[in-house]
Chain A
Amino acid sequence: MSTTTDPDTRPDGFRLGMLINDTRYRSYTFQFIALVLLILGLGYLISNLLDNLARAGLNISWAFLGEPAGYDINQRPIEYTSQSTHARASMVGAINTLIVAFLACISATVIGVVAGVLRLSNNWIVSKLMSVYVEAFRNVPVLIWILIIFLAMSNALPQPRTFRGDDATSSMLFDAIAVTNRGVYIPSFVNGAGSLIFWIVVIASIVGVFWYRKYAKKVLYATGRMLPTFLPSLGILIVPGLLAYFILGRPVTLEYPELSGFNFKGGIHLRLSLIALWFALAIYTGAFIAENVRAGIQAVSKGQTEAAGALGLRPGRIMNLVILPQALRVIIPPLISQYLNITKNSSLAIAVGYMDITGTLGGITLNQTGRAIEAILLLMLFYLVVSLSISAIMNVYNNRMKLQER
């Protein structure tokens, strides 16, 4: 057998066959072929879809968004009537989704961190209780929890009419909070003249507390002198607000819920659907976050605890100053996933009649207009944008918390 041509004798030569035979190009060839096939396949499916839709007389149109919705929504964070457009109804739904997702994310984090830390407690009862909590809530679908909480509350809590009359069987907590099977009514703020100044003072004093704590830390690091933090913080937080409140002549008053007609009126109405959804999402996801927190803490070497203990730190401080900051690096990435899960799971709202965007745009609007494809596309876009935004924000936080390599 004679030898074949050596590629090196023609370094600049490029033959078509090299696309298959030469390892330098072969992978590109196959990737290119796969890409073309993928595009063709997708194009075929999409053109098929449009073709069949057109044949069935269903054309993509967004005109329905401008038409009057015709239905009412109970929880309206922005102004809305049944004469508003479908677009407006979708927006109300979107804000409702964000409200419940935000509330659930915050509460799930608090529940999760507490449960995760307590699960590692040396106290046998506490750690076993937390194990039971985590296993019970993690292993039952969240939809079941939403329904259980909703049905339990609607059946167990008193009806508004039991608050009425002289022989009322129920009464309000502190004469301010009414817990009924239609939701919880709490007092709301009524802003009078000069209330703007009062709120500015309140916000400024909160900022002031942070500023003072930062200053105290700076003094500590520079001079080693420890300034008292608790009492001054409390003073900065309360005194200016109180002074402003009385100097301005009590500009902000509370409006209490009152029974009138069929329901309580006035104050803020936290609907049963919101509470059930919020609570279910928070405890369900809290169980997952507890496991993340436990994993994060256990990922920090035990030597850290012992070293901190040897320096004379109290157990609470060891956790807050040494363990948790390091554990956060492990906790944050899975925490992002949990936040995304909460946002997406909030679409189960329809099970309890909470009017989130799946209930308005993907529910009633879709049903009344029959524009299924358009509505679902918009829904997908909404959840995609919200989820990507949460990811982006949490990634920024993650980058700030991760190990700084110099």
Chain B
Amino acid sequence: MKKTVLFGALTVAGLAAAGAQAATLDDVQARGKLNCGVTTGVPGFGEPDANGVWQGFDVAVCRAVAAAVLGDPMAVEFVPTTGKTRFTALAAGEIDMLARNTTWTFSRDVDLKFEFVGVNYYDGQGFMVPKALGVNSAKELDGATVCIQTGTTTELNLADFFRSNNISYEPVPIETGSEAVQLFTAGSCDVYTTDASALAAQRANFANPGDYVVLPEIVSKEPLGPLVRHGDNEWGDIVRWTLNALITAEELGVTSDNIDELASAPGSNPEVNRLLGTEGTLGEMLGLSADFAKNAISAGGNYGEIFANNIGESTNIGLARGLNAQWTEGGLIYSPPFR
């Protein structure tokens, strides 16, 4: 214990990267709050609303986990992180999980020692340009000035894309997405590149969204998902199966409207029963209450509802489901079975 305290002092001194490996679940329950790392502000994905309450697609995952573990979707302490600080914050134990459009890559999983618990959004890197430039393809961008958020995989994809197409560019690295947008709208750069979902989200907030176009090229695979530290598999399981519960709920037709009715008594579908804890002991196996999945789904609805309410076509972000439709509808969203 003493060692942990001293080590804590060292992490504060900015020297260390590894935190206590003890049971995160116990820590969270003792604290009564989930520390969740989010973005510094991407509309639709994670941003405080007018009342200062965090809302968004990634934020909903934090709320679902808090509901599953603590029974209260509002028991979340949101920690805004930049592209540069997010991994240190997670590794040092400052946050219990990271839900911040983070790409699942080999080196982050293996070398940085994180555990990606799944994918909640299949994305790809795109380019946005002002319509006035008259550019129709990213391959016409020879010599362009490109604004890019530093410390992200997009930086490496960008270098690869321009190198493989043998064209030149001038990178303008910027610390946060909002600063990059500011430079882009001021015309300090010709192109703004990041994940296509974030491009759509940020364009929705422009004064004249119609003056800008997103180019058709998607130059990378960006599976985005929540992640936790290596070394606490029980905690990783909790976050993984909370996410899976949201996805399974959509597949099985469990919505925030009918969940109370379905959970009140065992119904005809055994998988729904197992998911909602009216049958079997799945919650107990995770070290949580039997109705953990019910709480998680009640927090913000199932995966489809979360998508539709935060970034779907009826919102001003206006993203289509595309790759993020359920596997039964031709998408990639797929959860292992609850049994």
Q: Do B21 and A367 have beta carbons less than 8 Å apart?
A: no
Cβ–Cβ < 8 Å partners of A83 in chain B? 163
Q: Let me know if A306 is at the binding interface, CB within 8 A.
A: no
| With A181-B187, A262-B145: A56-B113 Cβ-Cβ less than 8 Å | yes
Cβ–Cβ < 8 Å partners of A373 in chain B? 15-17
Cβ–Cβ < 8 Å partners of B84 in chain A? 363, 366-367
Interface residues of B in 237-254 (CB under 8 A from A): none
| With A56-B18, A82-B159: A364-B151 Cβ-Cβ less than 8 Å | yes
Cβ–Cβ < 8 Å partners of B83 in chain A? 367
Q: Let me know if A275 is at the binding interface, CB within 8 A.
A: no
Cα distance A280–B235 when bound, in Å?
A: 47
* Closest chain A CB from B205 CB (angstroms): 17
Cα distance A73–B7 when bound, in Å?
A: 36
| With A45-B10, A372-B88: A261-B142 Cβ-Cβ less than 8 Å | yes
Q: Do B190 and A262 have beta carbons less than 8 Å apart?
A: yes
Cβ–Cβ < 8 Å partners of B113 in chain A? 56-58
Cα distance A350–B84 when bound, in Å?
A: 11
Cβ–Cβ < 8 Å partners of B18 in chain A? 52-53, 55-56, 58
* Closest chain B CB from A259 CB (angstroms): 11
Cβ–Cβ < 8 Å partners of A82 in chain B? 159-160, 163
Q: Let me know if A229 is at the binding interface, CB within 8 A.
A: no
Which partner residue on chain A sits nearest B14 by CB separation? A376
Q: Let me know if B94 is at the binding interface, CB within 8 A.
A: no
Q: Let me know if B231 is at the binding interface, CB within 8 A.
A: yes
Which of A52, A83, A355 has the most chain B CB atoms inside 10 A of its CB? Answer: A52
Q: Do A58 and B188 have beta carbons less than 8 Å apart?
A: no
Task: Please encode chain A, from 256 to 269, with 1 for each CB lying within 8 Å of some chain B CB and 0 for all others.
Answer: 00001111010000
Task: Please encode chain B, from 144 to 182, with 1 for each CB lying within 8 Å of some chain A CB and 0 for all others.
Answer: 110000110001101110110000011111110000001
Q: Let me know if B23 is at the binding interface, CB within 8 A.
A: no
Cα distance A83–B150 when bound, in Å?
A: 18
Q: Let me know if B31 is at the binding interface, CB within 8 A.
A: no
* Closest chain A CB from B51 CB (angstroms): 28
* Closest chain B CB from A318 CB (angstroms): 48
Cβ–Cβ < 8 Å partners of A263 in chain B? 143-145, 170
Cα distance A372–B85 when bound, in Å?
A: 11
Q: Do A154 and B151 have beta carbons less than 8 Å apart?
A: no
Q: Let me know if A151 is at the binding interface, CB within 8 A.
A: yes
| With A368-B156, A372-B17: A74-B172 Cβ-Cβ less than 8 Å | yes
* Closest chain A CB from B145 CB (angstroms): 6
Q: Let me know if A351 is at the binding interface, CB within 8 A.
A: yes
Which of B14, B83, B112 has the most chain A CB atoms inside 10 A of its CB? Answer: B112
Cβ–Cβ < 8 Å partners of B160 in chain A? 70, 82
Interface of A (DSSP majority class)? helix
Partner of B156, one of A48, A70, A261: A70
Q: Let me know if B111 is at the binding interface, CB within 8 A.
A: yes
Q: Let me know if A369 is at the binding interface, CB within 8 A.
A: yes
Cβ–Cβ < 8 Å partners of B171 in chain A? 71-74
Cβ–Cβ < 8 Å partners of B112 in chain A? 370
Interface residues of B in 89-135 (CB under 8 A from A): 91, 107-108, 111-113, 132-133
Partner of A74, one of B91, B107, B141, B170: B170
Q: Let me know if A155 is at the binding interface, CB within 8 A.
A: yes
Task: Please encode chain B, from 180 to 208, with 1 for each CB lying within 8 Å of some chain A CB and 0 for all others.
Answer: 00110011111000000000000000000
Interface residues of B in 66-82 (CB under 8 A from A): none
Task: Please encode chain B, from 1 to 31, with 1 for each CB lying within 8 Å of some chain A CB and 0 for all others.
Answer: 0010011001000111111010000000000
Cβ–Cβ < 8 Å partners of B132 in chain A? 161
| With A181-B187, A263-B170, A373-B17: A367-B151 Cβ-Cβ less than 8 Å | yes
Cβ–Cβ < 8 Å partners of A55 in chain B? 18, 21
Q: Do A44 and B6 have beta carbons less than 8 Å apart?
A: yes
Cβ–Cβ < 8 Å partners of B133 in chain A? 161, 262
Q: Do B230 and A57 have beta carbons less than 8 Å apart?
A: yes
Q: Let me know if B54 is at the binding interface, CB within 8 A.
A: no
Q: Let me know if B87 is at the binding interface, CB within 8 A.
A: yes
Cβ–Cβ < 8 Å partners of B17 in chain A? 53, 56, 58, 372-373
Q: Let me know if A226 is at the binding interface, CB within 8 A.
A: no
Task: Please encode chain B, from 47 to 76, with 1 for each CB lying within 8 Å of some chain A CB and 0 for all others.
Answer: 000000000000000000000000000000
Cα distance A272–B172 when bound, in Å?
A: 10
Task: Please encode chain A, from 372 to 383, with 1 for each CB lying within 8 Å of some chain B CB and 0 for all others.
Answer: 110010000000
Q: Do B7 and A52 have beta carbons less than 8 Å apart?
A: yes
Cβ–Cβ < 8 Å partners of A52 in chain B? 3, 7, 16, 18
Q: Let me know if A334 is at the binding interface, CB within 8 A.
A: no
Q: Do B188 and A182 have beta carbons less than 8 Å apart?
A: yes
Cα distance A182–B146 when bound, in Å?
A: 11
26 A-B interface contacts by CB (under 8 A): A48-B6, A49-B15, A52-B7, A53-B17, A53-B18, A55-B21, A56-B21, A56-B113, A56-B231, A57-B230, A70-B160, A71-B155, A74-B173, A159-B187, A260-B143, A261-B142, A263-B144, A263-B145, A353-B150, A353-B172, A363-B173, A367-B83, A368-B107, A368-B155, A368-B156, A373-B17
The 4 A-B pairs with the shortest beta carbon distances in the complex, nearest first, are A56-B18, A82-B159, A159-B187, A261-B143
Known pairs A71-B155, A159-B187; list 9 more (Cβ under 8 Å): A49-B10, A52-B16, A74-B170, A81-B163, A82-B159, A350-B173, A367-B150, A370-B87, A370-B112
Question: Could you list which residues of chain B lie within 8 angstroms of chain A, going by C-beta atoms?
Answer: 3, 6-7, 10, 14-19, 21, 83-84, 87-88, 91, 107-108, 111-113, 132-133, 141-145, 150-151, 155-156, 158-160, 162-163, 169-175, 182-183, 186-190, 230-231
